[in-house]
């Protein structure tokens, strides 16, 4: 029996037959008639003539010769047919790829993030997620410093709002990420804080004024007993009065004492709501803008369910931001209308 190698790529093995060609030869061998073969395969006669010419070139043999009204196989074709049929049987036994449908998902998606990330990124996507996949489960897991290991081992599937000191390019090729948007941070104090009083009196605040007060720091986990915070500068060592993994608690803590908290500018007004708090001038924060990311591992990169999940999160975020831009534009137009 002649051994046949199948062509698997358009750029290599140009002298090897495709599965299409093998199926044509098997059908032609059975019918001995080119027109009948074309009808059975649902192909045009010209296509079958092309396939026959290609097969003759590859196998360096006529393969079929005319005998009366039939096309009879040559000895070479007789030696090939067994292997051809065996290959086609193996191909037909391959499982057909399943069509992905979110409606059939019962998967648990595990998300590592801090509480504000859940509020900013997960909550806006819930309607879309559960409309499309009503039987999925979401597990929100506290973000800790060993999130890379957790992603690799499968303890979590995606990280949102990675620590600001994360060097994405140093993660390696097995990690993938999608950057979101830049956001600055602002310092916040209660209305009776000396810095807030000074500001209301029209006095200018300087960064050196912050040295006299202690801070609330948001942590991401522990490293040998030391707190890994999202803060820098004055927010270090003995200058930290409270550390917490819950950013949403910071505004409420600030109302009770003369501490300074740092909140993302993109959500600061939502976070403080109607609480008696004062936002300090932006120039007091020296750190560069922070770019949150969606981060995942190669383990889930090509999985259809995870690709769908990430796309819904990103699309929902963009829809929310687009709505916010429209609302802001409408408010500005209304303001202009009132002043005219």
The pair of three-digit structure tokens given for residue 275, joined into one six-digit string: 């609480």
* Buried b or exposed e, range 40-51, using 16+ CB within 10 angstroms: ebebeeeebeeb
Instruction: Give yes or no for a contact between 51 and 23, defined as CB atoms under 8 angstroms apart.
Output: no
pLDDT at 100: 83
- Domains of the chain, start order: 19-93 (1.10.10.10), 102-181+292-335 (3.40.190.10), 185-284 (3.40.190.10)
pLDDT at 166: 62
pLDDT at 223: 46
Q: What is the pTM of this model?
A: 0.64
The pair of three-digit structure tokens given for residue 316, joined into one six-digit string: 């929902």
Question: Which residues, 6+ apart, have CB-to-CB distance to 81 below 8 Å?
Answer: 25, 26, 29, 73
Closest alpha carbon to 86 in 182, 190, 15, 2:
2
C-alpha torsion angle, residues 275, 280, 286, 292 (rounded to 10): 30
Query: Where is 177: in which H helix or E strand?
Result: strand 175-179
Reading phi first (left if > 0) and then psi (alpha if -120 to 50, else beta), residue 233 is in left
Digits of tens for pLDDT over the chain (340 positions)? 454 544 444 433 456 788 889 999 999 998 898 888 888 888 888 899 999 999 999 999 999 999 888 899 999 999 999 899 889 888 877 766 677 889 989 999 999 988 888 988 899 999 999 999 999 999 999 877 778 888 888 889 999 875 555 677 777 788 888 888 778 889 999 999 999 999 999 999 999 999 889 999 887 654 444 444 444 445 556 789 998 888 999 999 999 999 999 998 888 988 998 999 999 999 998 877 778 888 999 999 989 999 999 999 999 888 887 887 787 777 766 666 666 6
Identify the sign of the CA torsion 162, 165, 169, 170. Answer: negative
Instruction: Give yes or no for a contact between 228 and 222, defined as CB atoms under 8 angstroms apart.
Output: yes
Instruction: Give yes or no for a contact between 133 and 102, defined as CB atoms under 8 angstroms apart.
Output: yes
């Amino acid at each position: 029996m002649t051994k046949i190698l199948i062509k698997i790529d358009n750029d290599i093995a140009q002298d090897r037959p495709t599965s299409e060609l093998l199926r044509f030869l098997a059908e032609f061998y059975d019918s001995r008639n080119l027109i009948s073969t074309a009808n059975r395969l649902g192909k045009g006669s010209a296509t079958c003539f092309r396939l026959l010419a290609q097969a003759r070139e590859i196998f360096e043999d006529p393969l079929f010769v005319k005998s009366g009204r039939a096309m009879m196989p040559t000895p070479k074709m007789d030696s090939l047919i067994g292997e051809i049929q065996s290959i086609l049987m193996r191909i037909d036994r391959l499982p057909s790829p399943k069509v992905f449908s979110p409606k059939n998902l019962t998967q648990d998606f595990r998300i590592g993030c801090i509480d504000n990330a859940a509020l900013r990124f997960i909550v806006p996507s819930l309607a879309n997620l559960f409309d499309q996949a009503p039987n999925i489960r979401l597990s929100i897991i506290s973000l800790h410093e060993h999130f890379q290991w957790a992603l690799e081992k499968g303890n979590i599937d995606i990280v949102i709002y990675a620590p600001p000191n994360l060097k994405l390019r140093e993660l390696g090729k097995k990690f993938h990420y999608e950057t979101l948007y830049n956001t600055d941070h602002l310092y916040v104090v209660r209305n009776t804080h000396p810095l807030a009083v000074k500001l209301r009196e029209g006095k200018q605040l300087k960064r050196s004024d912050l040295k006299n007060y202690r801070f609330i720091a948001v942590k991401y986990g522990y490293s040998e007993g030391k707190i890994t915070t999202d803060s820098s500068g004055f927010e270090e060592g003995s200058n930290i009065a409270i550390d917490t993994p819950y950013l949403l608690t910071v505004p409420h803590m600030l109302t009770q004492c003369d501490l300074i908290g740092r909140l993302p500018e993109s959500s600061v007004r939502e976070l403080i709501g109607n609480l008696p708090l004062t936002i300090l001038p932006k120039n007091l924060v020296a750190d560069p803008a922070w770019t949150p990311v969606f981060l995942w591992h190669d383990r889930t990169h090509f999985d259809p369910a995870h690709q769908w999940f990430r796309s819904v999160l990103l699309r929902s975020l963009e829809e929310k931001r687009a709505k916010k831009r429209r609302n802001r534009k409408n408010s500005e137009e209304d303001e202009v209308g009132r002043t005219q």
